A and B are shown apart, each in its own frame.
Chain A
């Protein structure tokens, strides 16, 4: 029986840009993660309110640490943002499949908004394996760009903003085309319109991480099932969150 639960200690919880926080958690349970792109599911507090856990992507990890970046979206993330170093969180760790298809020579990692964080941990591991990596990060405007410097320390990094206030004006697709990026595989995490656009433009060679409202995060409730071409359905929390571009049904 594999263990999934641990009570992790908050090392820091800092605001990167208004409304966006980076948190580091420490504990043995970090070792339950087996691949970048897996997620954790956090019980925000000991009370019945908020009731459900909050699934969160992982920025980076080692055997005893998990880093994440989250945006305040509602009541749960608001409470999370007020947590102090030293407090403990009940966390289910190492959920989902993650990015396991990694035998390529030249790749791009594509992040959109708060979908950017898991691309960081992935890029680091791909580079350590000797893969040539470029990063393409899409934001709304210069005001919500984050982690550009950190990515630049790892690999060539290209930014797009919808309002054109920084980098390429437009979407990540525009940035990929403008910079003539070549790649034999791409990895992506971001809002669904971005993922759909990537699948439309590059249908054959991508691994895309999806987001869904989840009841449990470990396959029990069927709350996050999506239709795919290869099976009647996949649960985003177990057979996902990473789907391959050739099985994704756009707007599925």
Chain B
């Protein structure tokens, strides 16, 4: 049995596997499939100040080894999340979750974060400044270093828990954004969010997704995620949670070798609701086979090759 435990700011985890926001609801939905206490942590559905219905349907299309989505941050709003969703989560989960926060302007993020930081079941917050599917805020904030720093600083000022900032891959220089949010006080970085993409109906020429563009994720983007985590984890001194197309224990190990201190699993949950417990088991088996006792020994193992 390998030791899979990792420690991140605000999160003392028995293993590094965290279901990614937007693919795991508010967690409790998955307790119909397995005991969600086996997870390292979980990143909850993106929460905004006001309730949001999200984008019109269709919101989903498919691509080679991946999924294109444009949900548009559908959620019942922070007050309802606290009143209903977190109550349901506590009934089935005793660990600490990550609250993922969306918004249209700095003040939205600040007010939402100020409410969620008070919840005992929340170990850390994750600032989603990288959602490609909302027309205000979202990715616009995460693609400009100055704006990314501003929202990070403003949120840090009102919360008592560690803050992770979730970065977009839809930028020329992801390292610049990462350094800007580190400088602004981020305690960690989670990356990558989805890549902006499209699909068309070849008969009508119409975009399949009603929002026209969507965010692409799944195994197809795994090498892109690895490259970005590799770059950022060497440029900052805060931990990076790596994600983007992780589907197996081997993928998770590779992501940690790239420099991630923990991993998030997104799309894989949608195709296989049992993906996370399976990945945890596969990581253990793989490390045993490799003769590695502590998962922390492999974090950033690739960085030695200059």
Contacts and interface: CB of A to CB of B under 8 A. Distances in A.
Interface in B108-147: none
Interface string A24-54: 0000000000000000000100001111110
Interface string A212-248: 1111101111111111000011000000000000000
Interface string B262-276: 000001011111100
Interface stretch (A1-9, A78-86, A123-131, A178-186): A1-9
Contacts of A221: 22-23, 60, 69, 71, 270
Contacts of B51: 232
Contacts of A53: 271
Contact of A48 (B219, B269, B274): B219
Given A1-B31, A222-B54, A216 B269 contact: yes
**Interface hub of B31, B34, B58, B273 (most chain A Cβ within 10 A):** B273
B32 A2 contact: yes
B271 A51 contact: yes
A225 B58 contact: no
Contacts of A176: none
A108 interface: no
Contact of A225 (B63, B74, B274): B74
A226 B57 contact: yes
Contact of A49 (B45, B64, B274): B64
Contacts of B272: 43
B38 interface: no
The A interface is mostly helix, strand or loop, or mixed, namely loop
Contacts of B64: 49, 51
A49 B270 CA distance: 14
Interface of A: 1-2, 4-5, 43, 48-53, 92, 212-216, 218-227, 232-233
19 contacts: A1-B32, A1-B34, A5-B274, A48-B65, A49-B65, A51-B219, A213-B58, A213-B60, A215-B59, A215-B67, A216-B271, A218-B32, A218-B33, A220-B23, A220-B270, A221-B60, A223-B69, A224-B57, A226-B57
